Structure 1
Amino acid sequence: MTNPTRQQVINAHGALSSLTRLADNYLSSISDEDGEARQLRQFILRVIPPIPQPTMAEVEWDDDKHYLAEANYPYHGSVIMLSEKDGWIKYFDEREREVYDVLARALTPTGKCYTLTEVQDD
């Protein structure tokens, strides 16, 4: 069995949705059976990979949303995004305590955000 690319998985889900819609329209025009195509779709969805999460290359950078937001990076795990410039994202790796640059397509946002707070010394 081959390993489909990210785009192939996205295309397969789109094709399956189109086929389901076409089959539903056809079946409803010839019989009172409803939902047969959707039931078959569920069988197929059980065996194909889920739709991959969008990468930062597919998301427009917004400082309010993405500054100090967490992202997954396959080579470093969870990282904290700092800024974006020309398709490159600067991120902080907590474990290594270093700042790096990476292409936006390598990062998948997790939805988690961090905030900076001032702490008073007693």
Structure 2
Amino acid sequence: MPELTRQEIIDAYDAVDELHNAACALNWGSLHDREDDWANTVIKALPPKPTPTLEEIAWYDHMHFLAEAEDEDGKKYIMISPQEDGIRCISNGKKFPETDPIPRKGLTPTGKKYKLAEIQDDE
């Protein structure tokens, strides 16, 4: 089987959704209850649907500021702000160094969020 690109996989999932919706709208009588089974059969044969990257997601401060993202190599970052040439992040390591903007297409949100907390001098 040929290696599918990320976009081809996304397009295949979209096509299954569209075909399923069209079949449901036709209301084929005795076949009506089978649309979900057909869609699920096709989806089982597809690779997992890729998680959207920051290129495909609009930036919202309340969702993305101090949220974790992962690059294509699996390295984790904490997102700070959008820039024209990518997302400004800090590395999710011991010293949290600031990075140059990372291209949006290379970052996938992990769902993990951080929050700022004041630390007292005696801590």
- The normalised TM-score by structure 2 is 0.82
Counterpart residue type for residue 18 of structure 1? E
1:11 aligns with 2:16: no
Counterpart residue type for residue 68 of structure 1? L
Corresponding residue for 1:99?
Answer: 98
CA positional deviation for 1:23: 3.1
RMSD: 2.0
Corresponding residue for 1:65?
Answer: 63
Corresponding residue for 1:37?
Answer: 35
Corresponding residue for 1:108?
Answer: 108
Please state which structure has a larger fraction of its residues in strand: 1
Corresponding residue for 1:46?
Answer: 44
Alignment length (residue pairs): 120
- The DSSP-based 3-state class of the residue aligned with 1:99 is coil
Task: Extract unaligned runs of 5+ from structure 1.
Answer: none
- The normalised TM-score by structure 1 is 0.82
Q: Distance in 2 between matches of 1:23 and 1:64?
A: 38
Q: Identity percentage over the alignment?
A: 31
**Conserved 8 A contact 1:82-1:91:** yes
Q: Distance in 1 between matches of 2:81 and 2:35?
A: 45
